[in-house]
Amino acid sequence: MKNLLQHYINGKWVNSNGGNTMDVINPSTENKIATITLGSSKDVDVAVSAARAAFKSWSETNLNERISLLEKLLEIYKSRSDEMAKFISDEMGAPIDLAKSAQVGAGAGHLKNTIRSAKKFSFEKPLGDHSPGDMIFYEPVGVCALITPWNWPMNQVMLKVAPALATGCTIILKPSEISPLSSMLLAEMINDAGFAPGVFNLVNGDGAGVGTYLTKHTDVDMVSFTGSTRAGIAINKSAADTIKRVSLELGGKGANIIFADADEKAVARGVRHCFNNSGQSCNAPTRMLVENSIYQKTIETVRKVAEQTEVGPSDKEGRQIGPVVSENQFKKIQSLIKTGLEEGAKLISGGEGRPDGLDKGYFVRPTIFSDVTPNMTIWKEEIFGPVLCITPFNNEEEAIKLANDTPYGLTNYVQTSDNEKARRVAKQLRSGMVEMNSKFLGAGSPFGGMKQSGNGREGGTWGLEEFLEVKAVSDWNQLSA
């Protein structure tokens, strides 16, 4: 990789124009593994100018040529997957086996699915039989600022970069300053794939500096952001003066509704899903709602699963959960665990402090609270760590009410063997996604939420449409004659 004190702008690795430096920390060891430069406003201006200059040519490039470049990128990505996994594991603490499979695999999957969707997408089509001369054209939005989080680096980066490139947009990517190394490796791959200078640019930086400047920049046509709801609100306000498009994928507080007729493994799966990636997923099922008749049995099951959950360093092979990403995140989670105890939630397993034998690193004990009520802080706030809240319910109506009792609306989960009940509940849940009986949504399904979980949709056809403007032209056939 190139000198980490640089940004990738207009097809070259360039030195920063006066930005401060920041250390990248391995959360398993608390040791510095790299140093990056936080970009300045001058860096952003240069990157935006490069993207603006490249837009006309790239947007007019034949779709087949754009797809061919993406296919070349996919080949390179796969060939360097082990290198990518090592960067992700080191920078944000994903256990190496998880990094190789789910973390790197998600990026490849989204790129592959974008290519498949772009080949099938109709970028121009007639309005309809009632007005046969009118045409509808889908055209690239323009220069796009893509701001991505640290928790699933290539998952979130590729959900934005791949469709933006496929549709003919040009890009300035600002990855999380906590996990920038994987995105810098991706920049090398994009360069090696042969994308023209200025089509893809990367500026490292923090949200307060580079992020804010990008969102209000007059030559940026769109901002696509994944991160916290707090940051999403700030981005919306910053972008308002220029009326640019803003796509937001924000936080979540998913409910996992477990009815008494759920299969016998549903509870254990729910705990493991919550703890996956050390609980650092916006769509994690962090509130387990359990029908009263199986509530006490569930308590015993979740205790066993939590006690069997191994915690360990990210470079160790196996199915353990790793550390959380940073000291700040560790302190936030510890504070919320303490608040849960103070507000009367019953501690089933885990609690404050590091697991036994781990005196260094940002490791959190897998923690489960029962008897959590809607007035408690841990019910309301997104904890973003391996912390599960359990609450009983008496009937279907109460389960739906509890699930919807949150400002978030990203993903909810339903576990039952009664198909009709599952459908009734799913239709009443106020979330962008509902997973039934632990079956994952298919490739190309739209990822996104309602309420304070955001307004965007990523993946498949919906991911392409996020980066397209709709143009209507009357009497097109006559004009073409």
Which residues are part of the catalytic machinery? 249, 282
DSSP string, 122-170: -SEEE--TTSTT-EEEEEE--EEEEE--SSSHHHHHHHHHHHHHHHT-E
DSSP string, 214-270: HHH-TT--EEEEES-HHHHHHHHHHHGGGT-EEEEE-----EEEE-TTS-TTHHHHH
Phi, psi for residue 290 in degrees, rounded to 5: -125, 130
At 97, which helix (H) or strand (E)?
Answer: helix 96-98
In whole angstroms, give the CA distance from residue 371 to residue 375: 11
**283 by DSSP, 3-state: which?**
coil
In contact, 349 and 366? CB cutoff 8 Å: yes
Structure tokens at 98: 């998880």
Sole residue written with tokens 């841990």: 378
**208 by DSSP, 3-state: which?**
helix
In contact, 167 and 462? CB cutoff 8 Å: no
Strand segments (E) across 281-407: 287-291, 346-349, 367-370, 387-393
In contact, 389 and 418? CB cutoff 8 Å: no
In whole angstroms, give the CA distance from residue 215 to residue 238: 6
Q: At what angle do helices 63-79 and 153-167 cross, to 10 degrees?
A: 160
In whole angstroms, give the CA distance from residue 243 to residue 120: 31
In contact, 257 and 403? CB cutoff 8 Å: yes
